[in-house]
Structure 1
Amino acid sequence: IEFRINGEDPGRSFLPAPGRITEWVIPTGPGVRVDAGFRNGDTIGGNFDSLLAKLIVTGATREQAIERARRALAEFNVDGLATALTFHRAILEDPAFTEEFKVYTSYIENEFNNQIPAYQASAIPLQTHMAPEYLVTEVNGKRFEIVVHAPKPVVKRHRAKQSMAGGAGGAALVSPMQGTVVKIAVNEGDLVEVGDLVIVLEAMKMEQPLMAHKVGVISNLSAVIGATVSSGTALCDIIDA
């Protein structure tokens, strides 16, 4: 069984999720193989495919492979950006896949009950102390080694800023993800209906159309084709006509 570990957020309709890897722990054991090209500290940009790694699990039977996969996915930890790990774990608890095997090509879109919460970055501990220093000095021809001990560490917890849910808030149409503006389908002053295409973003080789969330007139259109925008950036307003 092969699992594609993509940089996408299953809790937000699999939106691309570029970011910096702050934790990277891969599983090992019988029948477990991981193919990856990243490590802790690497930055995953939005200009490339979202695939981070492949987890391949084998077993003498399908049941054994599933049990090994559950263990491997539980051991596989990535933080700093959203990944598909939570989705794979959920699938391995779905009887339609593990017992009845009633899945089909569009099963996820049509029947999968996605209760996966949106990704939130873990608290990052920041150390405020320095590590001990080891010094060598010479006094009156004699060599001495000196250890300078740091004060007791003080750990402060800083929670990473949570990205906005994206989409729309009031009059503003905001970006639900970090991406590049590749298309603007409206002009300042245009009248739009609910569901009309306004802007298209691209990240990790995937396009994300942004639709009008209300009837109104386009105002304060700040999006520029080719510009990179962060999650939560206001791209335009849709004001009452």
Structure 2
Amino acid sequence: MRKVLIANRGEIAVRVARACAEYGVASVAVYADADADAPHARLADEAYALPDGYLDVDGLLDVAARAGADAVHPGYGFLSESAAAAARVEEAGLVWIGPTPATIARLGDKALAREVARSVGAPLAPGSDGPVGSADDVVAFAREHGLPVMIKAAHGGGGRGLRVVRRLEEVTGLYDAAAREAAAAFGRGECLVEKYLERPRHVEVQVLGDGTGGVVVLGTRDCSVQRRSQKLVEEAPAPFLTSEQEQVLTTAARDICAAVGYRSAGTVELLLDADGLISFLEVNTRLQVEHTVTEETTDIDLVRQQLLLADGRPVEVTEDVRPSGHAIELRITAEDPGRGFLPGPGTLTRFDPPGGPGVRVDAGVVAGSTVPASFDSLVAKLVVRAPDRTTALRRARAAVASFTVEGVPTVLPFHVRLLEDPAFTAPSARSFAVHTRWVEDECTWLDELGEKRAEPPHEDPVVRTWVEIDGRRSLLGLPTALLAQLSTTGHAQSPDPAQEAGTAPDASSDGDVSAPAAGILTSWSAPDGERVEAGERVAVVEAMKTERPIAAPLAGVLRHVVTEGAQVGAGDRLGVVEP
């Protein structure tokens, strides 16, 4: 390989660009309009605009051809688990830095993955043999195996398309929501149903496969601190496992990946319930966000190993690795933990990360960066390493206390409080009480959290933007006075989007249906002109990977103002209910 196109954004694109530089290959970044000034676009050797977004495979292949790239690294998320995208890349004569398309397809289909797990004797909770055909099938399964049950997307991961059913009357609504979210995220809405394990820990095993059946295990991780099935904290090795549990976990991971001839880095995820029952969950056929804690406890650069394997060279790890010390990763997201982790896109007026021995910060932003509403809310990862868990917790407290972010809400206050909670900082398995629902169900202190918002910065007399010239980005500055003059003469005036669409401008009304957060209006639950009742769900906005239902403020006739698929801001008027 000579030049790698990085088909991603944010901190993972920065991470891959740095690994490419160390490996000795050039890197090519792509950026959506909202990321024109993002650090990953500046760090790479070249950067090209991708107007239709990061999922535009045609656009990515066009950039690869223009830049002369001969390989594609998908990072995580976006295209990393798309067998079709991997196949398109290879059909174009490029190297796909990851598992083969066939492996991604087989393990990305959760029904097929369960079959692989069953064939090698991996532990499994009861579940459907394949995708269920309807909500009625979910009801039948629940009656046979008991509640609660879990509906989850058959394709993809990351907590998308996952719902827990605790009452039979909830099945239809939750099934429809899971299928809709899965279709929006992965292009396919099929769902599986499984027996839901109450209060389980989320544990996983990092592997490297050579593509011929050889698989090495690089240790375990615990990722139980989550909100809405999205991880907030990860640590390695997973604490308080018995030697028998660790043996079951690592054997299952190795056997599953060996059975499919796994190539590249991958993660096998499992659940461990309070009674010690272990159940296979899924295989993530990509680099994980939390790969950093494994790197810190093994001194193995996982991205470098991916590059070696894709380059047809042997990895530098030939046998299972025993982790040394303990590492903890805290995800820093642009969300307000005191308001139900409500996403808060905006501009970072200050970004001062901590440093020092054993402290690592992987960031996709700097002061002045914009956190777009249209993408994941992750802005940085704080990783600490120490000889043992107790010392790592102490180091994490000091690092979080000196981490300053202003301009958008973040989960830093949550991490400060978490690192003092006895349930998380427990010294033994007996007192370690964290599970995947712990944040929502047991963190009674969430409502106490909040952040003071920084005052908006004074207006800069120069507006800066970036222009692309032959794959290199150049900074262009335009005086605001000039722009203002153009605006008043009509040459730079933007049309009112509401008037352009033929709708009335927003107006305050008691019947307004407003966006709870910046995001995308994914669907109207009720047609235009239909009568709705107060409290009835009428729309869904997706904000930073999370669906947020919107209820009718009063009874009346619903009128749509904004169409499905539109980008909306927090508080925007989406529609109105006329009494």
TM-score tier, shorter chain, comes to: 0.7 to 0.9
Confirm whether residue 46 of structure 1 aligns to residue 385 of structure 2.
no
1:156-202: per-residue Cα shift (whole Å, max 9, x none)? xxxxxxxxxxxxx8432221111111111112332223443211112
Q: Deviations over 1:69-96 (max 9, x none)?
A: 1110111111111111111112112222
SS of alignment partner, residue 560 of structure 2: coil
Asked whether the equivalents of residues 23 and 79 of structure 1 are also in contact (C-alpha less than 8 Å), the reply is yes
Structure 1: segments with no counterpart, 5+ residues: 129-168
RMSD: 2.4
- Report the AA paired with residue 329 of structure 2: E
What's the offset of the Cα at 1:223?
2.1
Q: In structure 1, what is the Cα distance between the partners aligned to 2:397 and 2:449? A: 19
Give the Cα separation in 1 of the matches to 2:571 and 2:410: 19
Separation in 1, partners of 2:343, 2:459? 31
For residue 188 of structure 1, the aligned residue among 528, 536, 546 is 528
Looking at secondary structure, tell me which structure has more helix per residue.
Answer: 2
- Out of 56, 61, 65, the residue aligned to residue 388 of structure 2 is 61
| Partner in structure 1 of residue 329 of structure 2 | 2
Aligned residues: 200
Q: Who is 1:26 aligned against?
A: 353
What aligned pairs does 1:171-186 form with structure 2 within 5 A after superposition?
Answer: 171-186=511-526
Aligned partners of 1:127, 1:228: CA distance in 2, in Å?
A: 25
2:438 maps to 107
The residue aligned with 2:453 is 121
Distance in 1 between residues matched to 2:455 and 2:434, nearest whole Å: 37
Percentage of matched positions with identical amino acids: 41
Deviations 1:191-217 (A, max 9, x none): 223443211112323322212344x11
Per the normalisation by structure 1, the TM-score is 0.74
Structure number having the greater strand percentage? 1
Q: Is the 8 A contact 1:219 1:238 kept in 2?
A: yes
Tell me: higher relative CO, structure 1 or 2? Use CA pairs within 8 A at least 6 residues apart: 1
- The whole-number CA distance in structure 2 between the counterparts of 1:201 and 1:127 is 31
Q: Is residue 353–residue 403 contact of structure 2 (8 Å, CA) maintained in 1?
A: yes
1:109 Cα deviation after fit: 1.4
Q: Would the aligned equivalents of 2:334 and 2:344 in 1 still touch at CA under 8 Å?
A: yes
Residues 531 and 558 of structure 2 are in contact (CA less than 8 Å); yes or no, is this contact kept in structure 1? no
The verdict on how the C-alpha distance between 1:32 and 1:119 changes in structure 2, with shifts beyond 3 A counting, is same
Does the alignment pair 1:208 with 2:535? no
Residue 3 (structure 1) shift: 0.6
1:98 partner SS: coil
Partners of 2:365 and 2:454 lie apart in 1 by 20
The 1:125–1:19 alpha-carbon spacing in structure 2 relative to 1, beyond 3 Å, is closer
Please report the TM-score for the alignment, with normalisation by the length of structure 2: 0.32
Contact 1:86/1:116, CA 8 A, preserved across alignment? no
1:157 alignment counterpart: none
Kindly indicate whether the alpha-carbon contact (under 8 Å) linking 2:376 and 2:544 is maintained by their aligned counterparts in 1. Answer: yes
- 2:421 and 2:577 map into 1 onto residues whose CA distance is 41
**Quick check: 1:235 aligned with 2:562?**
no
- Matched residues in 2 for 1:70 and 1:62: separation? 12
